[in-house]
């Protein structure tokens, strides 16, 4: 019984993701979600209080996966430059698996600009990533991999670079070799952080 309930919940989430991507958040109603998921309205409201709750749950699930990936890499024993290079490969994975998901990414930002609850759910992760990367850059400085740069600014630039590449890669999948570009940009950016006089190269 619990398994079936779980299945229903997943059907709702999957159908919502498909409809939000294709028709947009505003144009998708609970009725359409129920029809596409093959569930009753009663079943829908048993699992989610509103369409917005589904929307936010989809974001939360996606961010949890991203978070898990980043944390697993950051707990490795490599030095920070290599950790950051490995993290850049996550973007490549997103490009490979995000087929048709661009509208959904953009919907979060668009709805965030119009709705306080969604704004909080969309902006909170940014602040979290900002702190995560500030700590990681600081670790790089402490271990001697990086110059004594302002870790906060470096983290801001890292997050901006990732978001900018994400947007461009999703908007224009054939505009560059996206299987290489994130790592190449990260490699270049790392050169801004490494000490000037060692001639160190991260390979």
Angle value at C-alpha 109, between 14 and 155, nearest 5 degrees? 110
Considering the complex, what minimum distance in angstroms separates the CB of residue 86 from a second copy? 18
Assess 63 for contact with a second copy (CB under 8 A): no
Q: What share of the chain is helix, strand, coil (3-state, %, to 5)?
A: 75, 0, 25
Assess 31 for contact with a second copy (CB under 8 A): no
Assess 85 for contact with a second copy (CB under 8 A): no
Considering the complex, what minimum distance in angstroms separates the CB of residue 202 from a second copy? 12
Considering the complex, what minimum distance in angstroms separates the CB of residue 50 from a second copy? 19
Region 156-195 residues binding a second copy, contact defined as CB under 8 A = 156-157, 159-165, 167-168, 170-172, 175-176, 181, 184-185, 188-193
Assess 114 for contact with a second copy (CB under 8 A): yes
Assess 150 for contact with a second copy (CB under 8 A): yes
Report the alpha-carbon distance of residue 84 to residue 89 in Å, rounded.
Answer: 9
Which residues make Cβ contacts (< 8 Å) with residue 108, sequence separation at least 6? 55, 59, 118, 122
Assess 197 for contact with a second copy (CB under 8 A): yes
Which residues make Cβ contacts (< 8 Å) with residue 182, sequence separation at least 6? 88, 89, 91, 92, 162, 165, 169
117 versus 159: smaller Cβ distance to a second copy: 159
Assess 71 for contact with a second copy (CB under 8 A): no
Assess 110 for contact with a second copy (CB under 8 A): yes
Query: 3-state SS string over 19-73?
Result: HHHHHCCCCCCHHHHHHHHCCCHHHHHHHCCCHHHHHHHHHHHHHHHHHHHHHHH
Terminal-to-terminal C-alpha distance of the chain: 52
Positions in the binding site for a second copy (CB under 8 A):
24, 26-27, 102-103, 106-107, 109-110, 112-114, 119, 122-123, 126-127, 130, 149-150, 153-154, 156-157, 159-165, 167-168, 170-172, 175-176, 181, 184-185, 188-193, 196-199
């Amino acid at each position: 019984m619990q398994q079936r309930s779980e299945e229903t919940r997943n059907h709702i989430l999957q159908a919502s993701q498909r409809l939000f991507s294709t028709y947009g958040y505003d144009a998708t109603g609970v009725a359409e979600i129920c029809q596409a998921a093959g569930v009753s309205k009663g079943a829908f409201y048993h699992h989610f209080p509103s369409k917005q709750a589904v929307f936010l749950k989809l974001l939360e699930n996606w961010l949890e996966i991203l978070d898990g990936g980043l944390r697993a890499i950051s707990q490795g024993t490599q030095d920070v430059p290599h950790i950051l290079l490995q993290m850049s490969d996550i973007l490549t994975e997103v490009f490979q698996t995000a087929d048709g998901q661009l509208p959904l990414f953009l919907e979060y930002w668009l709805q965030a600009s119009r709705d306080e609850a969604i704004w909080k759910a969309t902006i909170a992760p940014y602040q979290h990533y900002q702190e995560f990367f500030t700590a990681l850059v600081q670790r790089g400085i402490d271990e001697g991999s990086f110059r004594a740069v302002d870790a906060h600014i470096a983290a801001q630039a890292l997050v901006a670079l990732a978001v900018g590449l994400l947007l461009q890669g999703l908007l224009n999948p054939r505009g560059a070799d996206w299987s290489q570009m994130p790592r190449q940009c990260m490699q270049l950016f790392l050169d801004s952080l490494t000490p000037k006089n060692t001639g160190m190269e991260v390979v």
